[in-house]
Amino acid sequence: MPEQTERPTLEVCLSPALLHLYDLAQKIVVVIDVLRATSTICTALYHGAQKVIPVDSVEKCMEIGRQLGAVTAGERDGHIAPGLEHGNSPLEYPASFIQNKTLVLTTTNGTRLLHMAKDAEEIVIGSFLNVSAVCEYLIARRRPVMLACAGWKDRINLEDSLLAGAIIHRIKSHFDIQCDAALIVEQLYETTQGQLMEHMQQASHYQRLTRHGFQQDIAYCLTIDGANVLPVYRDGAIALA
Amino acid sequence: MPEQTERPTLEVCLSPALLHLYDLAQKIVVVIDVLRATSTICTALYHGAQKVIPVDSVEKCMEIGRQLGAVTAGERDGHIAPGLEHGNSPLEYPASFIQNKTLVLTTTNGTRLLHMAKDAEEIVIGSFLNVSAVCEYLIARRRPVMLACAGWKDRINLEDSLLAGAIIHRIKSHFDIQCDAALIVEQLYETTQGQLMEHMQQASHYQRLTRHGFQQDIAYCLTIDGANVLPVYRDGAIALA
C-alpha cells in the first residue's frame, strides 16, 4: 500500500444533478451508466468498432449517421427511435456486425453526463464489462478520480451505485477517500457478495427493463470483464485508449 | 403486513439538490439532519422548549430573538456566531435551561431543507433521538413518505443516510418502496448491525466535528430514542405534535 501522503483522492457522485458540487479539473472521471449506455459502448469497441459517437438527440444521430455512413442507434421508451436503425442493447453489437464501423449512439442519461464532465482531465467509460481494465488504469495513472454515475433521470440508481462500489472495493488502498458516498456504495457492493443479479432484481430499473423484455441485457451487463477494454472519450468520440 | 395495493409509497432523497425531482404534495416529509440540527431540535422540545424557530441567517436569528425575547443559537465554522448566545450542540439545551422558552436556531443545511419542503402535506423532524416516535407516526398516518436528508453542502453524508436506512428498516413492511436510494440506505444501515458510532468514525463529518471538539455531540446524536418526541414544522415554527 502506498504512503497516505502520496495517495490521490477518490470520490463518487451518485447523480448528474450533484456533479456541479465537484471540481473535475485535473481529475479522471469514470462515466458509469450500466443499463445500458456504457455497457453497449464497451461491447461495441470490444467487438472492433472504430469509435462510438455519443449524441443527445435522435436528429443529431441521424445527421451524423448520414455524414459518416455510420450505424445509428437509440431508443425512446424502450423501442428503436423512429429514423434510427438499431437499439441500445449491447447484444445487438456482435463483431460480425460492428467490426470496423462507427456507431452513433443517442442515449439520455449517459450522453448528458459525458457532456457535463467536459472539464475533466480525462474521461473513461466504466461498466461491469470492463471493471478490471478501468481499475488497472486508475491505479496506474495515480491521478484524482471521480466516479460519476448517470442514474435515472437524475435519481440515484442501484446498478450504477453497485459498480462504483465494486471499483472502490478493488482500488481503495491506492486512494485517499474522504467521501461519504464512496463509503456508502462500497458497503452496498460488499453486501452483494458477488450476487449482482439477485441483488438487481430489487432495482427500479430492473422492473422497467424486464417489462420491455430486456432480462438478457441485464444479465449480460452485470458480467464482470465481459468486454474488458478501456474506452476513452476525447473530442466528441469514444475509442479505445 | 397490509395488502400491497393498500400501501403508500416510501422514498428517500439523499441531498437537497435532488429534492426538486420529487413531488412532495400530499406527502409527509421527514427532515433529517443528524449532525446536528434535527437532533438539537428534538432535544430542546423534549426538554420542554415551547417551540423552535429555524432561520437561515444570523441577522434574522438576532432580530426574532429580540422581538420574542427568545434564546438565540447558531454557529459558523464551529463557533457560536457573533451576536448569538448559544451554539448548535444539543447538549447546550437541558431542561433546566430551555424549559418553556423559545429557541431561535440558525443552521445552514437543515433550515434550507425545511424551506424547500414547504409544499409537503406535513413536515416532521427526524433524528436517531426520536426514531421510534417518527416510525410509529408514519405507520399510523398511512400517507406517502419522503425521507429528506440534509447532507453536507448538498453532498450525501453517512449519518443522514444511516438514519434514513434505520427508519426504512423498521417500517418497510407498511410501505411500497420503488426507490433505489431507499434500498441502498437500508442495506447500509443493516451492515452496521447497531454499531453506529463505530461506523460513523469513517464519516467525513465525524472528522470535521471532532476537530472542533464535538465527540460527545456525536455519541449523543446517535442515541436511539434519547429524546423520543415528534416535532412538527408548521407556519414557520417547530413544536410537538
Contacts A207 to B, Cβ<8 Å:
178
* Set of cell numbers at residue B207: 472528522
Q: How far is CA B145 from CA A159, B41, B148, B178, B220, in A?
A: 24, 21, 9, 12, 26
Q: How far is CA B129 from CA A8, A44, A45, B156, B160, in A?
A: 37, 52, 53, 21, 13
Q: Distance between CA atoms of B101 and B229, rounded to whole angstroms?
A: 17
3-state secondary structure of A230: coil
Q: Distance between CA atoms of B10 and B178, rounded to whole angstroms?
A: 8
Task: Quickly tell me which residue has 427508519 as its cell.
Answer: B167
B3-59 confidence digits (pLDDT tens): 546 899 999 999 999 999 999 999 999 999 999 999 999 999 999 999 999 998 999
Residue B5 has a pLDDT of 60
Residue A122 has a pLDDT of 98
Q: For residue A141, is the peptide bond before it cis, meaning its omega torsion is within 30 degrees of 0?
A: no
Radius of gyration of chain B (CA): 17
Mean pLDDT, all residues of chain B? 93
Residue B214 has a pLDDT of 80
- Domains identified in chain B and CATH numbers: 7-228 (3.90.1560.10)
* Set of cell numbers at residue A67: 455524414
Tell whether A168 lies on the interface with B, counting CB pairs under 8 A. Answer: no
Residue B206 has a pLDDT of 78
For residues B131-137, average pLDDT? 98
Give the pLDDT band (50/70/90) at residue B79: confident
- pLDDT score of B131 more than 60: yes
Instruction: Report which of residues B207 and B147 the model is more confident about.
Output: B147
- CB pair distance less than 8 Å for B158 and A180: yes
> Percent of chain B at pLDDT above 70?
97
- pLDDT score of B201 more than 90: no
Closest CB to B180 among A158, A178, A179: A158
Closest CB to A157 among B17, B18, B180: B180
B8 DSSP 8-state letter? P
- CB pair distance less than 8 Å for B17 and A14: no
Contacts A183 to B, Cβ<8 Å:
158, 202-203
For residues B102-114, average pLDDT? 89
Give the pLDDT band (50/70/90) at residue B62: very high
- CB pair distance less than 8 Å for A204 and B179: yes
B145-198 confidence digits (pLDDT tens): 999 999 999 999 999 999 999 999 999 999 999 999 999 999 999 998 888 988
Going residue by residue through chain A (241 aa), what tens digit of pLDDT does each one get?
Answer: 545 468 999 999 999 999 999 999 999 999 999 999 999 999 999 999 999 999 989 999 999 999 999 999 998 877 899 999 999 999 999 999 999 999 999 988 888 899 899 999 999 999 999 999 999 999 999 999 999 999 999 999 999 999 999 999 999 999 999 999 999 999 999 998 888 988 888 777 677 777 777 889 999 999 999 999 999 999 999 999 9
Residue B64 has a pLDDT of 97
Residue B228 has a pLDDT of 98
For residues B186-211, average pLDDT? 84
Task: Quickly tell me which residue has 449506455 as its cell.
Answer: A37
Contacts A205 to B, Cβ<8 Å:
180
**H-helix or E-strand spanning residue A128:** none
Contacts A21 to B, Cβ<8 Å:
17, 153-155
Residue B110 has a pLDDT of 82
For B59-62, which contacts have Cβ atoms below 8 Å and span 24 or more sequence positions? B60/B106, B61/B104, B61/B105, B61/B106
CA angle B137, B91, B70 (to 5 degrees): 80
Q: How close does chain A come to B84, measured CA to CA in Å?
A: 30
Closest CB to A188 among B187, B203, B204: B187
Residue A86 has a pLDDT of 96
Contacts B157 to A, Cβ<8 Å:
180
Distance of CA B221 to the CA centre of its chain: 10
Contacts A178 to B, Cβ<8 Å:
204, 207
Find the residue in A nearest to B177 (Cα): A204
Task: Quickly tell me which residue has 416516535 as its cell.
Answer: B133
- pLDDT score of B115 more than 90: no
- pLDDT score of B2 more than 70: no
Residue A12 has a pLDDT of 98
Instruction: Report which of residues B98 and A202 the model is more confident about.
Output: B98
- pLDDT score of B77 more than 80: no
Residue A5 has a pLDDT of 60
Q: Distance between CA atoms of A100 and A93, rounded to whole angstroms?
A: 12
Find the residue in B nearest to A159 (Cα): B180
Phi, psi of A13 (to 5 degrees): -120, 115
- pLDDT score of B231 more than 60: yes
